[in-house]
Amino acid sequence: MISSNRVQDKENRETFPQHPRRDFLKLLAVSSAAGLVLPPGFASASVRPNRITDLRVWSAPDYTRIVFDTNQVAKYSLFKLSNPERLVVDLQDISLDVPASRMNQSDSVVTRIRTGAPSPNVVRTVFELSSEIRPRSFVLKATADKSHRLVLDLFRKDYVAEEEKTPEPVKKTSSARNAVIVIDPGHGGEDPGAVGFNGTMEKDVVFQVAQKMARQINQIPGLQAQLTRTGDYFVSLRQRVSIARLHSADLFVSLHADAFRTAGARGASVYALSERGKPTPDRAINNLVQRENNADLIGGIDLNTVADPEVRGILMDLSQRASLNRALIFGKNLLQEMGSLPQTTLHYNEVKQAGFAVLKAPDVPSVLVELSFLSNPKEEKLLRQSSHQESLARALVSGTRKFIQASHLA
């Protein structure tokens, strides 16, 4: 096809894929330094050029997320090319300051990453793709822990969601139906959650406990587990709630690990949603809610997309009131089981209520469990241990089973 040949030529003419990457990066560094002639005494800070300082690739089942770190807000443009499929991103007025090895990242969608310079001060990155994608892009401003970021989401066009493959959704009224427990490992991808003194990341330990829980639940007749994420990638709070609703979840458990400014804080806690308008009980819980609800900002959500009113704040209707009452009893069961573990203390002896966005499915009893404190070196060490994770999972599954049996869900 004429048009596709033309665009292909365009990409080839303006990039240097034949250069060994290392040499090429050097070349870029030299050319940008040479082009910058400063008058004597000129403050370099005022003309500090923008730089790309890192590039990360995260793989979700239905899309690949690519994140560029830049030290100022990036100016960019992107276009797609076919035969073969490629996505080309040009960043303007910027230099590349990323180790060549970072360009070796790939996954099932992105098979190769190449860089080039179609004109001075423009860095072109070409993503070679295994299949056709639908791109989405946005920039995120720097936060306390993160630099400015350019985010590219490459949605797979050939992806068929697991749910869509099922010929017929199982109805909640069927007596043969399994009770569905949706387990939600908090954070993921760009968002590590709390980080312990020894570098343990909340996103990793909660994922490991979630997997152990799911394995145990799926061995119990009548129960079925579903995870909101199956790897290390970002899932927005709204998506986590929709996954629970999509699976007609009977229960939703969001797993987290707490952090506090003093190393002495310890123990597990369980939260349910608070009634709308009710203030959160204390400052520590208020800070926790803010941290957990900030996950979208850190993990990378396009704030220009319209927020779902479901998560934004809904009226507490009758069905939600019923869900909340059930969540409070369910949470109590979980606390009892965790409290009976020899190595686990309880941070609070009762289920606390606060405005966690991830608990806002109106029709699913939802709780958020803080397994213990990553800011406590002893608990951090325990949380890394597979045997301790297994016991925590067993306690949570046992509490879940008891609740389900008592409420005749299974």
Burial class (CB in 10 A: 0-12, 13-18, 19+), 249: buried
203 touches Zn ion (CB under 5 A): no
186 touches Zn ion (CB under 5 A): yes
Q: Give the closest residue to 112 by CA, choosing from 86, 135, 81.
A: 86
* Closest CB 117 distance from Zn ion, rounded Å: 41
How far is the C-alpha of 315 from the C-alpha of 323, rounded, in Å? 13
Total residues contacting Zn ion (rule CB under 5 A)? 4
Sequence length of the chain is 410
* Closest CB 189 distance from Zn ion, rounded Å: 13
Kindly tell me which of 109 and 194 has the beta carbon lying closer to Zn ion.
Answer: 194
* Closest CB 362 distance from Zn ion, rounded Å: 22
Q: Give the closest residue to 11 by CA, choosing from 81, 66, 59.
A: 81
Nearest 5°: the CA angle 206, 209, 213 is 135
Considering only 121-129, 236-244, 263-271, 291-299, which stretch makes contact with Zn ion by CB under 5 A? 291-299
Considering only 27-35, 87-95, 252-260, 268-276, which stretch makes contact with Zn ion by CB under 5 A? 252-260
Considering only 157-165, 273-281, 285-293, 336-344, which stretch makes contact with Zn ion by CB under 5 A? 285-293
185 touches Zn ion (CB under 5 A): no
Kindly tell me which of 213 and 223 has the beta carbon lying closer to Zn ion.
Answer: 213
331 touches Zn ion (CB under 5 A): no
How far is the C-alpha of 159 from the C-alpha of 137, rounded, in Å? 19
Please pick, from the candidates 65, 203, 238, 256, the single residue that binds Zn ion as defined by CB under 5 A. 256
Considering only 104-112, 129-137, 190-198, 278-286, which stretch makes contact with Zn ion by CB under 5 A? 190-198
How far is the C-alpha of 232 from the C-alpha of 207, rounded, in Å? 8
How far is the C-alpha of 402 from the C-alpha of 326, rounded, in Å? 13
229 touches Zn ion (CB under 5 A): no
Contact 148, 140 (CB under 8 A): yes
299 touches Zn ion (CB under 5 A): no
Considering only 43-51, 241-249, 251-259, 273-281, which stretch makes contact with Zn ion by CB under 5 A? 251-259
189 touches Zn ion (CB under 5 A): no
Considering only 73-81, 213-221, 288-296, 345-353, which stretch makes contact with Zn ion by CB under 5 A? 288-296
Burial class (CB in 10 A: 0-12, 13-18, 19+), 349: exposed
* Closest CB 103 distance from Zn ion, rounded Å: 32
65 touches Zn ion (CB under 5 A): no
Determine the straight-line distance between the first and last CA of the chain, rounded to whole angstroms.
Answer: 59
User: SS3 for 132?
Assistant: coil
Considering only 47-55, 64-72, 249-257, 376-384, which stretch makes contact with Zn ion by CB under 5 A? 249-257
Kindly tell me which of 73 and 195 has the beta carbon lying closer to Zn ion.
Answer: 195
How far is the C-alpha of 159 from the C-alpha of 62, rounded, in Å? 6
193 touches Zn ion (CB under 5 A): yes
192 touches Zn ion (CB under 5 A): no
334 to each of 52, 305, 358, 377, 397, how far by Cα in Å?
46, 36, 18, 24, 8
* Closest CB 254 distance from Zn ion, rounded Å: 8
How far is the C-alpha of 204 from the C-alpha of 235, rounded, in Å? 14
Kindly tell me which of 32 and 375 has the beta carbon lying closer to Zn ion.
Answer: 375
Looking up tokens 């220009």, which residue turns up? Answer: 304
Kindly tell me which of 113 and 371 has the beta carbon lying closer to Zn ion.
Answer: 371
- Quote the tokens at residue 21: 């990457």
42 to each of 31, 45, 46, 101, how far by Cα in Å?
20, 9, 8, 34
* Closest CB 193 distance from Zn ion, rounded Å: 4
- Give the residue at shortest CB distance from Zn ion: 256
188 touches Zn ion (CB under 5 A): no
Positions touching Zn ion (CB under 5 A) are: 186, 193, 256, 292
